Amino acid sequence: MRLKNIDLVVILTIVALNIVYVLLPIHVTVIGVVLALPLVFLLPGYVVTEILSYKRALNTTYSAIFSVGLSLAIDILGGFILNVFTMGLRAVSWVVLLGLLTVAFSLLTAFLRRGSHINERRMPVLHLRIHEYIVVGFAILVVVLSLHYSVTGVVQQPHMGFTQLWLLPAQSEKSCTLRLGVRSFESTSTMYVVVMKENDKEVGVRSSIVLAPQEEWDSAVPLAATTTDGISIKVSLYKAGKPENVYREVHIMMQNMRKGEGRDKGCGTADMLSANNLRTLLLDPKKRERMGNVGRQRAKRFTVGTVTNRIEEIYKELLNRSDRA
């Protein structure tokens, strides 16, 4: 049977089926494996082999070896390339990359065949001895078992979930408020209990927070007014059913705002207060001048002459006391 570019038609058909399959909302594993195996292990290398040997055809055995070897090389290089970009190593990105390469090489193969003297191609036939068939059979068996073992191992690996817990000062100018949040990366829906303590005193318990995987919960938590300068906040997260084990914990130290620090009331972390004071000074030239004058007047009390005179007075006073004694 004489054929002309029928192999390229079959290759393009398989590539198209892979693209259609990966874009479908529902996937059947068996169909996906059947379509992916030739695209991953054979087709890219086959068309590259055809490009390299378009003037002089290789025998079927060498062609098969080169096809598999070049396909594996393309897979490795493609994996490095995909890992660099944000798309990552995903089914869609793999199909698009290998599909585009295969289509491009197929078009180049068809173009080169037009210019060659070999206008017709025969259906490839394997001419192997019995022991060669046995070796090839064992090789195929090893590949199949290796793929099965790798897939089974990945499925059976434990996927440890985790949960994020955060506590941040809210952007509030006139109140002490915190933003409390929980985000679940567990494999199943999970119920949490959140316990909050202010200066080692429990101030709030929120129970029955149920989050599905990738779901997030957050809430604004106002702090009670206090006369102390520092407020120590500790939030503990428990999984429902394990009240004795703290699953996540976060601490934050808040500072009360005093009059003259840029706001009449409120609180924040030390960094927030420093930034707020600097902002206040930058926006208020009169206050800068007033504070500068006060600072210079205070500094005069600590000049070299003033301090030296004070030390001399202290020594004289001590000497006079010793003379009287």
HEC per residue, the chain: CEECCHHHHHHHHHHHHHHHHHHCCCCCHHHHHHHHHHHHHCHHHHHHHHHHCCCCCCCHHHHHHHHHHHHHHHHHHHHHHHHHCCCCCCHHHHHHHHHHHHHHHHHHHHHHHHHCCCCCEECCCCCCCHHHHHHHHHHHHHHHHHHHHHHHHHHHCCCCCCEEEEEEECCCCCCCEEEEEEEECCCCCEEEEEEEEECCEEEEEEEEEEECCCCEEEEEEECCCCCCCEEEEEEEEEECCCCCCCCEEEEEEEEECCCCCCCCCCEECHHHHHHHHHHHHHHCHHHHHHHHHHHHHHHHHHCHHHHHHHHHHHHHHHHHHHHHC
pLDDT at site 74: 93
pLDDT at site 313: 87
From the list 8, 18, 15, the residue with the least C-alpha distance to 51 is 8
Mean pLDDT by 10 residues, the chain (325 residues): 73 93 87 89 91 80 85 91 83 91 92 66 61 78 76 60 83 69 88 85 72 88 64 85 86 65 52 66 82 85 85 86 70
The string over 110-119, giving b where at least 16 C-beta atoms fall within 10 Å of a residue's C-beta and e elsewhere, is beebeeeeee
Q: What are 275's two structure tokens?
A: 């930034």
pLDDT at site 316: 86
CB atoms within 10 A of CB 35: 19
Is there a contact between 276 and 268 (Cβ–Cβ < 8 Å)?
A: yes
pLDDT at site 276: 65
From the list 265, 257, 199, the residue with the least C-alpha distance to 229 is 257
Total length of the chain: 325
For helices 91-115 and 29-41, give the axis angle rounded to 10 degrees: 50
pLDDT at site 178: 81
pLDDT at site 273: 58
φ, ψ (nearest 5 deg) of residue 258 = -105, 160
From the list 279, 275, 163, 155, the residue with the least C-alpha distance to 212 is 163
pLDDT at site 315: 87
pLDDT at site 11: 93
pLDDT at site 102: 94
Interstrand relation of 230-239 and 190-198 (parallel, antiparallel or unpaired) = antiparallel
> CB-based contacts of 112: which residues, under 8 Å, 6+ apart?
51, 54
Query: CA gyration radius for the chain?
Result: 38
How far is residue 79's CA from residue 70's CA, in Å, rounded to a whole number? 14
Q: What are 52's two structure tokens?
A: 């390299």
From the list 275, 251, 253, the residue with the least C-alpha distance to 263 is 275
Q: CB-side exposure of 285: number of CA atoms within 13 Å? A: 0
| CATH number at 163-276 | 2.60.40.10
Distance of CA 103 to the CA centre of its chain: 33
Q: Where are the domains of the chain?
A: 2-126, 163-276, 284-324
